[in-house]
């Protein structure tokens, strides 16, 4: 992987439970940051903390994954803010609703598909074009093991994340020749607001600081696909190997 890109990164969905730790890991390595989300007041608090603790430049920009028409301008604004196209982008935003609610209420299903998939495609295509033109950079997207196989417990969110994983795979294939690295992150379970109140087997859950460190290391090493806790790769290998005639009878 080329390392000639500028030492700066845009964190999309910077208020997410794990994004704060991803930002922290980049800041510790001297990267300038653009934190992007909808709640500017909350972002400013995190940015102030980053500046004090790491002596880095940290900017806040308003970003909504669903405002597709603003995405081209957002990418231009990132370049204007930094004085150059950023080195990379990490997509952390996401939305997971209760599966039953998404089955009954199309607006919930639609939001799940739009935030996790369409919003991601919309914004990443603009960054991809900018990095491709420059000839280096990195793109990382937080997808999910839920996208590896459809399950009754969360197939609408899983479908959106599965779409995102395939999208990132194709983007990686497209951008390889331009020297732009694309990393797909499959976190498994993480202890963040998204999983708050869910009963999850503790050994399978990653603390967000551990996840943040693993994600940034993988990005900077130029990894293609990572499972944050290594054993998820084997868990998902087993789950994917179950024949469909048997899988449809199971509740996992």
Min dist. Cβ of residue 169 to ligand NAP (A): 16
Min dist. Cβ of residue 117 to ligand NAP (A): 11
Rg (CA), the chain: 18
The region of 16-24, 53-61, 80-88, 240-248 touching ligand NAP under the rule CB under 6 A is 16-24
Residues of the chain by 3-state class (helix, strand, coil), percent to 5 = 55, 15, 30
**What's the count of helices (H) and strands (E) in the chain, helices before strands?**
10, 9
Looking at residue 83, what DSSP letter applies? T
Closest CA to 157 of 149, 166, 167, 147: 147
Using rule CB under 6 A, residue 192 touches ligand NAP:
yes
User: According to CB under 6 A, which one of 60, 90, 92, 130 is a site residue for ligand NAP?
Assistant: 92
The answer for 62, left when phi > 0, alpha when psi is -120 to 50, beta otherwise, is: beta
User: According to CB under 6 A, which one of 11, 190, 218, 219 is a site residue for ligand NAP?
Assistant: 190
Q: What character string, x for contact with ligand NAP (CB under 6 A) and - otherwise, covers 132-151?
A: ----------x-x-------
Following DSSP, what letter does each residue of 94-138 receive, concatenated? Answer: -----HHHHHH-HHHHHHHHIIIIIHHHHHHHHHHHHHHHHT-EE
Q: Report the C-alpha gap between 154 and 149 in whole angstroms.
A: 10
Q: With respect to ligand NAP, which residue has the nearer C-beta, 27 or 164?
A: 164
The region of 58-66, 71-79, 81-89, 98-106 touching ligand NAP under the rule CB under 6 A is 58-66
For ligand NAP, the nearest residue by Cβ is 94
Min dist. Cβ of residue 17 to ligand NAP (A): 3
Q: Report the C-alpha gap between 108 and 96 in whole angstroms.
A: 9
Using rule CB under 6 A, residue 6 touches ligand NAP:
no
Using rule CB under 6 A, residue 232 touches ligand NAP:
no
Which residues are at the interface with ligand NAP (CB under 6 A)? Answer: 13, 15-18, 37-39, 63-66, 92-96, 115, 142, 144, 187, 189-190, 192-195
């Amino acid at each position: 992987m080329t390392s000639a890109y500028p030492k700066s990164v845009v964190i999309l969905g910077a208020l997410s439970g794990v994004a704060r730790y991803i930002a922290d890991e980049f800041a510790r390595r001297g990267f300038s940051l653009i934190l992007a989300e909808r709640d500017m007041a909350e972002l400013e608090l995190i940015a102030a903390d980053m500046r004090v603790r790491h002596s880095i430049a940290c900017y806040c920009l308003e970003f909504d994954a669903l405002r597709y028409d603003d995405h081209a301008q957002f990418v231009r604004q990132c370049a204007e803010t930094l004085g150059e196209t950023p080195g990379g982008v990490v997509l952390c935003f996401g939305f997971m609703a209760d599966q039953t609610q998404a089955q009954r209420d199309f607006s919930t299903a639609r939001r799940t598909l739009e935030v996790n998939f369409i919003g991601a495609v919309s914004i990443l295509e603009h960054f991809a074009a900018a990095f491709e033109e420059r000839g280096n950079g990195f793109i990382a997207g937080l997808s999910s093991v839920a996208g590896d196989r459809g399950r009754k417990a969360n197939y609408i969110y899983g479908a959106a994340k599965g779409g995102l994983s395939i999208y990132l795979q194709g983007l990686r294939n497209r951008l390889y020749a331009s020297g732009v690295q694309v990393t797909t992150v499959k976190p498994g379970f993480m202890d963040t607001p998204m999983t708050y109140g869910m009963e999850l087997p503790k050994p399978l859950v990653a603390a967000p600081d551990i996840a943040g460190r693993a994600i940034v290391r993988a990005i900077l090493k130029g990894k293609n696909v990572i499972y944050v806790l290594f054993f998820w790769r084997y868990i998902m290998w087993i789950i994917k190997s179950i024949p469909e005639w048997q899988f449809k009878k199971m509740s996992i």
